[in-house]
Amino acid sequence: MKCPYCKENDSRVIDSRSADDGATIRRRRECTSCGRRFTTYEVVEKQPLMVVKNDGRREVFKRDKILNGIIRACDKRDISLESITNLTNEIERDIRNSMEQEVSTAEIGKLVMSKLKNFDEVAYIRFASVYRKFADISSFMEELQELQAQKQAAETDKV
C-alpha cells in the first residue's frame, strides 16, 4: 500500500478490525520508510445491481430509496434509526444474495413489505398504502383484515 505522505510503496499492517458489521476491514498501517501511520479500508467489490422499473427503464440500485421509504413509513413511531438502518441492510443483503444483476421494483416492494410486516405493523400498512396504491377504503380494510388474520393465526400457533 502506497504511503499517502511520502508515496513509498512499502507499509506494514499494525492492526486489523472488522467494520460495518463485517462488510469492511479497517487496517492501521505504518510506512516502513517515513514511519507515519495511516488507515485503509478493504471492502468487497460489489457488482452493479440494476433495478427494472415498471415502465421497463433500468437504473442503478440505490439503497437510500429503500431507507427513505422505510423512514417515511416509520414516521412518528418509536423506532430507532439504527433499527431502520439494520432492516434496510437486511433487505439489501437479501437482494444482493439473490445473485441476480437485475431486480424489478415489484420484487423489491414485496421484499420490503414482507420484512416490514414483522418489523412494525403500522409501518407495514403505511408502506403498503403507498406501494399498492390503495384506491379506496375497502382495499385498505382488506389489507388490515388480512394482517389481523395472520396475526391471530400466529398467536394461535404459539399456544
Report the SS3 class of residue 40: strand
Residue 19 resides in a domain: yes
Indicate whether 62 and 27 sit together in one domain. no
On whether both 20 and 69 belong to a single domain, the answer is no
Is 33 found in the same domain as 92?
Answer: no
**pLDDT digits 0-9 by tens, 67-123:** 999 999 999 999 999 999 999 999 998 998 887 899 999 899 999 988 998 899 889
Pairing of strands 50-52, 102-104: parallel
Q: In the 8-state DSSP scheme, what is residue 44?
A: P
C-alpha distances in Å from residue 146, one per residue of 121, 149, 153: 12, 5, 11
User: Which of the four pLDDT bands, split at 50, 70 and 90, describes residue 20?
Assistant: confident
pTM: 0.62
Residues 83 and 15 in one domain: no
- The residue ranges of DSSP E strands in 6-97, in sequence order, are 11-19, 24-31, 37-43, 50-52, 58-60
Give yes or no: residues 128 and 76 share one domain.
yes
Cα–Cα distances in angstroms (integers) from residue 36 to residues 4, 6, 13, 22, 30, in the given order: 9, 9, 12, 27, 6
The model's pLDDT over 26-54, given as tens digits with 9 standing for 90+, comes to 999 999 999 999 999 888 777 789 999 98
Residues 64 and 107 in one domain: yes
Q: 38: domain range? A: 11-43
Which three-class secondary structure state does DSSP give residue 81? helix
110 and 67 assigned to the same domain: yes
- Domains: count for the chain: 2
Angle between helix axes 81-97 and 105-119 (nearest 10 degrees) is 140
Angstrom distances, CA of residue 151 to CA of 18, 54, 124, 156: 38, 31, 13, 9
Residue 28 in any domain: the answer is yes
| pLDDT tens digits for range 132-157 | 777 677 777 777 788 788 877 877 77
Residues 24 and 89 in one domain: no
39 and 112 share one domain: no
Angle at which helix 105-119 crosses helix 63-73, to 10 degrees, equals 40
Q: Establish if 141 belongs to a structural domain.
A: no
Instruction: Tell whether 72 and 121 lie within a shared domain.
Output: yes
**76 within a domain of the structure (yes/no):** yes
If asked whether residues 30 and 60 sit together in one domain, one would say no
